[in-house]
Structures are given as C-alpha cells and as structure tokens.
Structure 1
Amino acid sequence: MKILVVAPSLRLGGLENSVSTMTSWLADAGHSLTLVLCYRGERFYELNDKIDVVEPGFSLSARGKVYFYLSWIRFVRHVIKSKRPDVILSYGDYHNSLVKLSSSFLQVPVVVTDRASPGLKFPLYMRLIRSLTYPKCSGVIAQTQRAALVKKELLKKGVKVKIIPNPVRSFEPSQKVDRKKVVLAVARHYHVKGLDRLIKAFSRLDAPEWELHIAGSLGPETQKLEKMVQGLGLSDRTKFLGSVSNMGLLYSSASVFVLPSRSEGFPNALIEAMSLGCPSIAFDINAGPSEIIQHGENGLIVEDGDIQEMSNAILQLIDNEGLRLSMGHNASKLSNDLNLKSIGEKYENFLKSFVVN
C-alpha cells in the first residue's frame, strides 16, 4: 500500500509517540509511507529511514490562524495529488477535518483517528466542521469502547469504526535495576495532565524516604507546579526531570506509577509503565485508565478528583512490597495484549479494507 499519514508534529507527546511507532512499523512491513507534518519544528521521536517526511514551507505567522490553515489545506491537497496514495491516515482531533477537506473530490479513502478523550468539548465551530466532515470519511479508528460509541453518534451508517488501542512501544533491553523508593509521573506540564493533583496527594503521605519524580516537557503549568512543591515543603523530595530519552530505565527503576490526568484518550505513559512491571494508579476519568487497569489486579483506580483517596492508594502500595510485586507482575502482561506486531496488523488490515485493487 501507498499510505499517506498526516500528523501535527513529532514533538514530545502521546500522539506523536503513536505516530512514530505505527508509521515505522508499517514501513518495516513493506508499505510505502509518506508522513505529512502540520507544523515545522524540532523532532523528539525517531522515524524509520524508509519514511518520506514532508513539512510545509511556511509557519503560523502574523496573518493569523485562518490564513495558515487555508494555506495548509492547499499544501496537503498538493501533496495528496503528487503522492497519489492508496489511503490516507490522519491523526489529531483538530486536524482530521482539515485533512478531509484537503482530499475533497480526489477519490482517496480517508481514515481518521482521534487521540483525545471522547468527552472533550470542542468549540462550536469545530463541532460544526466535524459534523460535516467526519460522516464523509471512509473509516474511523477509536482507541476505546467509549470513544467508539461517541464516534458512531457522529457518523453515517456506512462509515466503518474500528477499536484499536495504542501499542506498547519496545524499549532497548537494559540491565536489571532495583526499584527505588520513587513515585513516578510522566506528563507535560499542562492543566489537563493533573500534576497538581498528584503533588497534593503526595504531600499528604507519611513516607519521608520516598521521592516524587515527574518526567515530561515544560509547559504553561511549570511555574505553578514548582511554586506548589515549594509551598508544600516538598522541594527536597520532588524532582522535575524534564524530557527523558531513556524512558525504559525510568519506568523500570520506579516503584509506583501515577496517572493523575483530568482527561485522556489512551495514555501511552500508563501502558508503558505497566508493560515494564510498574504497579500503577489512575483517576477514574471518562475514558482510558478504566479500560486498561483491572482494579486490584494490575493497578488501582481512584475516584476522579478524590485527592485523599489517591494519597491512600499511593500509601497502600508504598507500605506493601508484596502487593507492588504482584500488581507489577500482572501489569507486565499488558505487553502481550498490546504488542506492536498485533496492533500494527490491526492497523494494516483496517487500512487495506479501503484499498481498491
């Protein structure tokens, strides 16, 4: 197949992680891949050398967003015409509609995949554009059962919907390391990631030997989080690690992983931590964690927003090494269910179903 993939960027992030992992697998499987990026910029994730990467020669400027997106639609349409793909795969809640507009009347099937929470409330203009463009797509990939139900309400009967979760990316084999007295979170410093909730929960622990480590790129919440840590007297027990290249080692050396997000689609950090045997805790938000964590078996689910219950759950794992070991062992089985080959073949077969031989 000749597959044209469209994604916002290859910066640090869950969507970008999925894009780099899946496109590289499809290229290794023998397909011709062109990756069109919406924005120019630094790339955090590496790609298979077989993938042709195309970026716009312009950026968001003083002329404003409307001018930029109109130019971007023309740019993507030109790429589609020149590459003549068999199928288009588009990532990104805000860009999928623009990709469908770019491909109008070109007779190329478009498969879109949203990555945010199915409960996300879009601005009115985006809801209108999605209601007009999504029913005209050939297929939609949803990450969870909840997301699939929401999408079906938006689509016509003829549009195929397939539930395909994110794969667990493979990590370089590392030397066996002992787990440290560390509670780990991995997230960008944005309000939706809920790091403030985790810091508050950690501050209530009676566990002075334990540290809180937060990996992830800086963002609009950085100063607020740093002030919160200082104000709660946690400066000597909390480390902001920034972007980390060797995530496998980080997951393998932590004793507890926490996902404190307010909203998620299908969190990569959670499945990565679990696949490497790190017992995990998450709030019961509207989608994602509850379809990954089996409460009491491979992790713990906490009522959304209950800071004290989150603190209690962390303390439960801190105080019980045997429970951490058993949950970590069960969590590591996730790597079998979400291995890259299995998920990659599901993507491959779904895309093939739209290609006319």
Structure 2
Amino acid sequence: MKILMVSMNSIHFQRWTEQLKDTEHEVYWFNVRDGGYSEKLSWVHQIVGWKQKFPNLKGRSFIKKYAAWLYNKLSFLIENNTAKAFEKTLLEVKPDVVHSFVLYISCSPILKVMQKYPNVKWIYSSWGSDLYYFQHKPAYLKNIKNVLPRVNYMFSDCKRDVKLAKKYGFKGELLGVFPGGGGYSISEYDKFILPVNQRKTILIKGYQGRSGRAISLLKAINDLNEKLREFPIVIFGIDKEVENFINQNHLKSKLDLKTFSKAEFLPHMEIIKLMGEALIYIGNSNSDGMPNTLLEAIIMGAFPIQSNPGGATAEIIQHNKNGLLIENCEDVESIKALITEAITNKNMVNNAFDFNQIEVKPKLNRPVITEKVISKYNTIIN
C-alpha cells in the first residue's frame, strides 16, 4: 500500500513513521512545513523543497524574523501555495491513503484537495491539544467541523479526543488509541531504572507558554521549600517566563535546584535517564492529550503527578494508586497537597512503582504497539 504522510517534522512524527519501516508499505511524506530533508527518515520518499518560489532569495530569513507582518503580506509572491503543491504530489504519488498528523497543521491546508478527490482515503491523527484546546477558538473550530466529516479513519492518543471528534462531525472508523509516537523502546531504557529506595529527585517539566503551567508548580514548591530541601529538584524545558520566576523568587538559594532551558535542548535520552533516577515526576498544563513525557515517566519508574485536562490523563492514572491527578492546573494549594502526599506516603509511591512496571509498562512496549498499528493500516486495504 502507498501511504502519503502529511506532517511537519517532529520527533513524534519520526517515531510513529518508523513503525512502518521494513513493512510492505511504500511510505511517502509531504513535509507540510517544508522543513528540509530528514536523515532520520531517509528510507521514506520525502517531498521537500516545494515551498519557496525563489530558493536563493536574499534577505528572506531576516524579513521573516524581524518583519513577519511584511513577510506574511508578500508570502503569495515568494511561496508556493500549500494546497496546489500537495495536489501535485497527490496526483504524482497516487496513494492508497493519505495520513495527516494534527488537524490545523496538516488537515486544514489540504482540505479542499481532499474534497476534490473524495475517493482518496484519509487518516487523521489527533495529538496533544489538537482538538481539546482549539475547539475553544472559533476560527479553528470552524476548520475542525469542516475537516472531520471528510476524514475516513482516525488514530488518537487519548479516548477523550475520539469523543470530541465524533461531537464535531467524525463518522469514520477509529483505528485505535496509541501514544503519539508509537510505543517506547523499553529494552533500551531498562538499564537506566533505579530502585525506588535509591531515588530522591523531583523532576518537573518546565513548560509555560500557551498551555504549560509550570509556574503553578513553582509557586507550590516555593511554598513547600522547607519540606523539599532534602529533595534535589530538576526542571527541564524552561522558558524565559519560568526562568524569571525562579530568579525573582530566589528558588535556587532555597532549594537544591537545577534547571535546563528550552534553548539548551536536553537530548531525549538524557530526559529518559533523569526519569529513571527521579522519585517523582510532575507535569502540568491546561491542555494536552496523553502526554508523552508522562508515559515515559511511568515507564522509567518515576511516581507521576499530572494535570488531567478533559479527563485524558485519568485514562492511564488511577488517582492515589499509580499516580496523582491535578484537576485544576492553576490551583496552587491543591498542587501543594499532592506534592506533600507524594513525598510522605512511601507505601503509595512503592506500590505505584510496582503497578506501573508490571501492569502499565508492558502495554507501552514498542514492538507490542507497532504490531497493532501495522495491523490497523493493513485493514484499510482489505
């Protein structure tokens, strides 16, 4: 089967696509943002270099960075139309199925083309905040309602978004609920897992921005600084806003605190190693699907405390059993109570480690999920 992927480049897209390597399927990829050739997917037929009408145009990057309004106004003169470029690819490749990842990035721009060719089968993968966050934005909701009735098949990273998709017009076939990047290389990660009694670190995802709510976590640990002095705290992925909060509240003088900024781009395997050493992992956002970092923390044996937007996280965390759920990402007092519970209730943390390693982790193993994903693709051609 010929599969034409439509996506921007990302680690999750790469990991998902790698599941199809060494299968009988012929994989093409229309890089919807035209971010350049990916060596990591060298076995995939990549459609890149389509966007710029004048590839060697001087000053393009400068104008795009410092005068974005001007670049956007003139973009029709210097960039090829995404829909036209995709249609050209569609007619050349003649795929059995088109697979788009993230609605507003990879479905909306090609919708008119897919409507023009109604017999071409279309898969949509919902990730993260794709439906849950953007349903509250009128312009995006309009796109959601236009796209979903045309989609034939759907993968999702959580059951919550399946319900949302049906609410907004999806009447096709659900192919399954799987992690956004497929499964995890458990055999590769196992050597980095420490026993619970050797762990003391609290690991925090430091995202703020549009959906991250790391500052609510930092307010909580600031208030709890007396109780947390014996716990090394590591925060990764911090942006300027979070860094400013840390400095303004002198957190590094109150706590054994180490930070890694987004700009430092901590390699994925380094984050995995940190999770394998962490006693507790905390992630907090106002919107997400099934967070990949949460799943990785569970696999690596860190006790998870995670926000639960729309009930997505509750699909894998049983509150007070194998983790704790943050029901209000802005409620500092409730977050303080959850952290206090985690650092004082050793039985809960020990039992959660055993439960997650024995019951949850095997279900996230990459070979297990890959086999299921490939079988789902195979049903499309039968």
Normalised by the size of structure 2, how large is the TM-score? 0.80
> For residues 177 and 211 of structure 1, what CA distance do their matches in structure 2 show?
16
Give the 3-state SS of the residue equivalent to 1:337 in structure 2: helix
1:83 aligns with 2:93: yes
Give the 3-state SS of the residue equivalent to 1:228 in structure 2: helix
CA displacement, residues 143-201 of structure 1 (integer Å, 9 cap, x when unaligned): 322211111122264x2234412133216343554654221123544241111111111
Equivalences for 1:72-221 in 2 at 5 Å?
A: 72-95=82-105, 96-106=107-117, 107-117=119-129, 118-120=131-133, 121-155=135-169, 157=171, 159-166=172-179, 167-170=182-185, 172-173=188-189, 174-175=191-192, 177=194, 179-186=198-205, 188-205=207-224, 206-216=227-237
Aligned to 1:231: 248
Higher deviation after alignment, 169-178 or 77-86: 169-178
Relative to structure 1, is the Cα distance of residues 258 and 129 closer, same or farther in structure 2, using a 3 angstrom cutoff? same
Contact 1:92 1:113 in 2 (8 A): yes
CA displacement, residues 133-152 of structure 1 (integer Å, 9 cap, x when unaligned): 32112112233222111111
> For residues 28 and 258 of structure 1, what CA distance do their matches in structure 2 show?
37
Equivalences for 1:318-329 in 2 at 5 Å?
A: 318-329=343-354
The unaligned stretches of length 5 or more in structure 1 are: 11-15
Contact 1:270 1:280 in 2 (8 A): yes
Number of residue equivalences: 344
Contact 1:86 1:109 in 2 (8 A): yes
Contact 1:40 1:56 in 2 (8 A): yes
CA displacement, residues 199-253 of structure 1 (integer Å, 9 cap, x when unaligned): 111112222122332222x6xxx22211211222212433222322223212101
C-alpha displacement at 1:79, in angstroms? 1.8
Sequence identity, in percent? 19
> For residues 122 and 303 of structure 1, what CA distance do their matches in structure 2 show?
19
Aligned to 1:293: 317
Contact 2:122 2:152 in 1 (8 A): yes
Aligned to 2:40: 47
Equivalences for 1:240-319 in 2 at 5 Å?
A: 240-242=259-261, 243-245=265-267, 246=269, 247-304=271-328, 305-319=330-344
Relative to structure 1, is the Cα distance of residues 56 and 124 closer, same or farther in structure 2, using a 3 angstrom cutoff? farther
Relative to structure 1, is the Cα distance of residues 28 and 263 closer, same or farther in structure 2, using a 3 angstrom cutoff? same
Give the 3-state SS of the residue equivalent to 2:81 in structure 1: helix
Relative to structure 1, is the Cα distance of residues 262 and 130 closer, same or farther in structure 2, using a 3 angstrom cutoff? closer
